[in-house]
Amino acid sequence: MNKKIAFIGSGNMGSALIRAASRALNPQQIYITDYDLAKASSLARETGCQTAATNADAAGLGDFIFLCVKPQIIGDVLHEISPYLNRQCETGKEKVLISIAAGLTIETLRQKLDGACRRLPFVRIMPNTPAAIGKGMLAMAFGPEVSEDILADLELVLFRAGRIERLSETMMDAFTTVSGCVPAFAYLFIEALADGAVLTGLSRHQALTYAAQAVLGAAAMVLETGRHPGELKDAVCSPKGSTIAGVSALERNGFRSAAIEAITDAYQKNTELGKIG
């Protein structure tokens, strides 16, 4: 693919996508800009990408323009780049806009654009930070104006980030919660498991390594075998054994209830973010 890719914003999520894209394409096809140009330049040196001095420059350079900024400021960014997008529209050059802003619908984002660029193809994606190492879970939502060719090109840009699902936009808030937030919950779980392992006598390094690898292996078992996690759990729990004793302790302390509430509370926050538009 010979298209140019521009990233406006290089925070945690944006940098994860930039790293993945730089593994999938020639990094010289990729332009990075950020309000902190030093941060953008540092990431460009690390990945072999190029920098763009301003949001407007990025909008002019990129065929695919990733908007990797917070929901609270994406409207300002879209308003800023609209004149430059409109000039490109006048020449017949098609741009594709891609937003990672949680909670904000494509229609809400379109209303932040001015002029002819409102009709540009617009894709909404939600990645998570493990995309930086190719282990992410991403979803894409899009309208009828987005062609199969555009989607195929976008999947080519992102395939090194991890698994990609095409999803109805009505399900994006739910997806964002389980995919975007769960890594943080998992890190808490791994840290807590390691704390317990240190209490039993392991070194901190050993405890973290063993706990993280065990969680990684368990997740892989769910994905690769297709078996229900309850079934896999039962296979580890011997009668009167150590594992069922640990499961009992988790249940006694409300483990599953806490996990469910973490998802539902995060989902509620995602829907509130959408109201700022």
| Sequence-distant (≥ 6) Cβ neighbours of residue 233 within 8 angstroms | 247
Report how far residue 105's alpha carbon sits from residue 181's, in angstroms, rounded to the nearest whole number: 19
Domain parsing of the chain, residue ranges: 5-167, 176-275
Over the Cα atoms of the chain, what is R_g? Answer: 21
- DSSP annotation of 196 reads H
Q: Dihedral, CA atoms, 67, 73, 76, 79, nearest 10 degrees? A: 30
Predicted pLDDT of residue 276? 55
Percentages helix, strand, coil for the chain (3-state, rounded to 5) are 65, 15, 25
Q: Which spans in 141-274 are helix H? A: 148-158, 172-175, 182-199, 204-225, 229-236, 242-252, 255-273
Predicted pLDDT of residue 90? 80
Query: How do 136-142 and 122-126 pair as beta strands?
Result: antiparallel
Predicted pLDDT of residue 87? 87
| Sequence-distant (≥ 6) Cβ neighbours of residue 147 within 8 angstroms | 121
Per-residue pLDDT of the chain (277 residues; tens, 9 = 90+): 789 999 999 999 999 999 999 999 999 999 999 999 999 999 999 999 999 999 999 999 999 999 999 989 999 999 999 999 998 888 878 899 999 998 899 999 999 998 889 899 999 999 998 998 999 999 999 999 999 999 999 999 999 999 999 999 999 999 999 998 999 999 999 999 999 999 999 999 999 999 999 999 999 999 999 999 999 999 999 999 999 999 999 999 999 999 999 999 999 988 887 665 5
- The architecture (CATH level 2) of 5-167 comes to 3-Layer(aba) Sandwich (3.40)
Report how far residue 7's alpha carbon sits from residue 18's, in angstroms, rounded to the nearest whole number: 7
- 176-275 topology per CATH: ProC C-terminal domain-like fold (1.10.3730)
Say which residue the tokens 């990233």 belong to: 7
Q: And the tokens for 174?
A: 């739910």
Query: How do 64-67 and 5-8 pair as beta strands?
Result: parallel
The length of the chain, given as a count of residues: 277
| Sequence-distant (≥ 6) Cβ neighbours of residue 11 within 8 angstroms | 34, 68, 69, 70
Global confidence as pTM: 0.87
Cα torsion angle, 202, 250, 266, 16, sign? positive
Write the Ramachandran bin of 256: left for phi over 0, alpha for psi from -120 to 50, otherwise beta: alpha
